[in-house]
Structure 1
């Protein structure tokens, strides 16, 4: 338990001290809000800015949670990870500390954007919505930090990971409905988006944040919060189940690959690329 807390505390301190990165990460989402909010201006959407902001918040949580891979690789190259792994602490505890810190940082950034969003048109009718949104952000942070740690355990160098990260982040976010409605996509990309876990994550979180949980299935489909597969409607609450399934898969892959990863080999390969 001490190892988990120590790693969590170390990563949180690193996040707080990197003020430039923090400020930029808060500015960019509102740049997207300014650029893309007009796309959601339809008869069904009452407040396009709030609709867009909900997608931006969960996309930020997703992208931030993936950064666990960057910190893990940096720790490996610097030798810190090797020192931790030769200690009596188990690799599972180390992995858990990394996952929890990534989920905490991702949730913190989501909360910061949410607070700023209150000044841009985001409103709540029920105070419980904030609590539900907080729980959802924590769960999403855990799910995708698992994906990030899995990628960190699989790549051979930091330069390779930068390519892998972009290959994951761009399609996952832009084919999720967070920035561009799925109905606007070509048919082929629409089909691809249905295999994207972020699609269901965005729909689920947007339903919570905009308090649209009591709508009819037809209204959900029109808003892009539910998906019609030849008459079978995947509701936002079913999307929550889909997220849980992906979460179990990602966390299993992350812990299993981290336990068996050869971090000495990653360090040597990275050094040879310099």
Structure 2
């Protein structure tokens, strides 16, 4: 337990001290809010700003939770991670500490954007919604921190990970409906989006944050919160179950890969890994 708490506290402190990165992570989401807000203006969406803001928050939590890979690689290159791994503590506890810290940091960033969002006109009609939103943010952060740790245990250099990260982040976010409605995508990309875990994550979180769970199924379908796969309807709550399944898968892959990984091969210089 001490290993988990120590890694969690160390990463939290690093997040708080890196003020430039913190401010940048808060500015960029509102840049996207300004650029893409007009896309969601239609008869079905009552508040396009809040609708897009929900997608931006969940996308930010997703991207931040993947940054665990960057910190893990940096810790390995500096020698910190290697010192921990040669200690008597189990690698499973180290992996759990890394993922919990990533989930905490990503959730905190989501909360900060949410707080700023209240100044743009965002409102909740029920106080319970805040609790559901926080729970959803924590779940999303934990799910995708597993994916981030899995990637960290597979790459051989920090520069390689930057390429891998962009290859994951861009399609996952832009094919999820977070920034651009799925109905706007070409048929091929729309089909691909149904295999994207972020698609169901966005629909699930957006339903909770906008308090649309009580709407008829037809209205939810028009809003892109329900998916019709050849007559099979995926409701927002089924999307939550799909996220849980992906979370269990990412957790298994992350811990299994982290335990077996050889971190001596990781370097900053891509030529050194050859």
What's the TM-score bracket when you normalise by the shorter of the two chains? over 0.9
Matched residue, 1:38? 38
Note if contact 1:77-1:270 (Cα within 8 Å) is conserved in structure 2. no
Q: How does 1:1-274 map to 2 (within 5 A)?
A: 1-267=1-267, 272=272
1:112 match: secondary structure: helix
* Displacement of 1:272: 2.1
* Displacement of 1:270: 5.3
2:228 match: secondary structure: strand
* Displacement of 1:267: 3.8
Per-residue CA deviation, residues 142-168 of structure 1 (Å, 9 max, x unaligned), is: 000000000000011111100000000
TM-score after normalising by structure 1: 0.98
Q: Structure 2: where are the runs of 5+ without partners? A: none
* Displacement of 1:55: 0.2
TM-score after normalising by structure 2: 0.98
Note if contact 2:159-2:268 (Cα within 8 Å) is conserved in structure 1. no
- Work out the CA distance in 2 between the residues paired with 1:16 and 1:52: 27
Note if contact 2:41-2:48 (Cα within 8 Å) is conserved in structure 1. yes
- Work out the CA distance in 1 between the residues paired with 2:109 and 2:269: 33
Structure-2 change in CA distance of 1:78 and 1:271 (3 Å): farther
Q: Structure 1: where are the runs of 5+ without partners? A: none
Task: Report runs of 4+ in structure 1 exceeding 4 Å deviation.
Answer: 268-271
- Work out the CA distance in 2 between the residues paired with 1:258 and 1:269: 21
Structure-2 change in CA distance of 1:251 and 1:2 (3 Å): same
* Displacement of 1:269: 6.7
Between Structure 1 and Structure 2, how many residues are aligned? 274
- Work out the CA distance in 2 between the residues paired with 1:121 and 1:194: 31
* Displacement of 1:271: 7.6
- Work out the CA distance in 2 between the residues paired with 1:82 and 1:61: 28
Per-residue CA deviation, residues 214-270 of structure 1 (Å, 9 max, x unaligned), is: 011111110000101111110000000000000000000000000000001224975
Could you say what the CA RMSD is over the residues aligned between the two structures, in angstroms? 1.3
- Work out the CA distance in 2 between the residues paired with 1:270 and 1:127: 50
